[in-house]
């Protein structure tokens, strides 16, 4: 029997009293790759922020079980170029993900260092440990921030449009990285406009729009929602 981590029932999300999306029901089970799709402004990022506790739900119910019960999640927000001039090194940024595991610390213990080095190796940036974040390419920055997110939680990772602003070559590298993370036991919830490649990875699809859909990738491809998305034939959205 599958172990669910997050269950949303008739969820309504938005800001203050302004509803952005509603009637959202879905389940994230351990080992899933859930791809969240929908047109621009449909509420995808707002949903992620609600699950993360950044914003409060306006209605409905969210339940967290198993590895998600601590509500400590790895989170990769949309890449913000205004934050690319951090003076910190790659190692310092990745290490900061360990802070949420406990109180702020000036020094990292042996366990922390093992975790930091493990995830830097996993995403392929161990050779960049002493490099300044500001000197990295977009793809290297994303890998750094993913390693940081994994230091926060290696069981459940939220990715908010992780391909924005990245060149086509890194897009392919990124999807290979997502496969590697999944093979290493990470459950992933990802917003992506690249529906074609997302469908090659995901086992479940959550579509947010005037009507909402949640189900298997196979059922999604045979539903009316697949044809609603701009680009048709599983293109970009």
To the nearest 10 degrees (0 to 180), the angle between helices 138-152 and 168-183 is: 20
Rounded average pLDDT over 212-225: 89
Rounded average pLDDT over 233-237: 47
**Both 226 and 164 in a single domain?**
yes
Average pLDDT value over all residues in the chain:
86
Q: pLDDT over 90 for what percent of the chain?
A: 51
**Both 3 and 100 in a single domain?**
no
**Both 66 and 159 in a single domain?**
yes
**Both 3 and 41 in a single domain?**
yes
Q: pLDDT over 70 for what percent of the chain?
A: 88
- Give me the count of residues in the chain: 237
**Both 146 and 170 in a single domain?**
no
**What sign has the CA pseudo-torsion 164, 170, 171, 177?**
negative
**Both 141 and 194 in a single domain?**
no
Q: Lowest mean pLDDT of 69-78, 81-90, 197-206, 211-220, name the range.
A: 81-90
If one compares 150 and 39, the residue with the highest pLDDT of the two is: 150
Token pair recorded at residue 65 = 């079980």
**Both 147 and 196 in a single domain?**
no
The confidence score (pLDDT) of residue 233 equals 42
- CATH of residue 198's domain is 3.40.50.300
**Both 127 and 160 in a single domain?**
no
Q: Which residues make beta-bridge pairs with 89?
A: 132
The confidence score (pLDDT) of residue 67 equals 84
> What is the band of 173 on the pLDDT scale with cuts at 50, 70, 90?
confident
The confidence score (pLDDT) of residue 87 equals 76
**Both 233 and 162 in a single domain?**
yes
Domain total in the chain: 2
Residue 85's domain spans which residues? Answer: 79-152
List the Cα angle 237/46/172 in 5-degree steps.
40
**Both 55 and 90 in a single domain?**
no
**Both 61 and 164 in a single domain?**
yes
CB 198 within 8 A of CB 163: no
Concatenated DSSP letters for 64-76? E-GGGTT---EEE
CB 210 within 8 A of CB 200: no
Rounded average pLDDT over 135-159: 91
pLDDT digits (tens, 9 = 90+) for 43-96: 999 999 999 999 999 999 999 998 888 888 899 988 765 556 667 899 999 998
**Both 94 and 205 in a single domain?**
no
**pLDDT over 90 at 100, yes or no:** no
> What is the band of 116 on the pLDDT scale with cuts at 50, 70, 90?
very high
Picking from 193, 184, 195, 84, the residue whose alpha carbon sits closest to that of residue 144 is 84
């Amino acid at each position: 029997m599958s172990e669910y981590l997050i269950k949303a029932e008739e969820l309504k999300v938005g800001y203050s009293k302004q509803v952005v999306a509603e009637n959202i029901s879905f389940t994230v089970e351990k080992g899933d790759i859930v791809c969240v799709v929908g047109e621009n402004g449909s509420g995808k990022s707002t949903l992620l922020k609600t699950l993360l506790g950044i914003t409060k739900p306006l209605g409905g119910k969210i339940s967290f079980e198993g590895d998600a019960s601590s509500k400590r999640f790895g989170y990769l927000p949309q890449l913000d170029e205004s934050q690319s001039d951090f003076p910190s090194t790659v190692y310092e940024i990745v290490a900061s993900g360990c802070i949420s595991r406990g109180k702020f610390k000036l020094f990292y213990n042996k366990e922390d260092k093992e975790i930091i080095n493990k995830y830097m190796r996993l995403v392929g940036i161990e050779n960049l440990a002493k490099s300044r974040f500001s000197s990295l390419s977009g793809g290297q920055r994303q890998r750094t921030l993913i390693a940081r997110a994994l230091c926060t939680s290696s069981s459940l990772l939220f990715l908010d449009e992780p391909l924005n602003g990245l060149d086509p070559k890194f897009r392919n590298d990124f999807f290979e990285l997502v496969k590697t993370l999944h093979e290493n036991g990470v459950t992933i919830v990802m917003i992506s406009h690249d529906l074609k490649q997302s469908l090659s990875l995901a086992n479940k699809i959550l579509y947010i729009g005037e009507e909402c859909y949640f189900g298997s990738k196979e059922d999604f491809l045979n539903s009316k929602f697949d044809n609603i998305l701009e680009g048709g034939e599983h293109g970009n959205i």
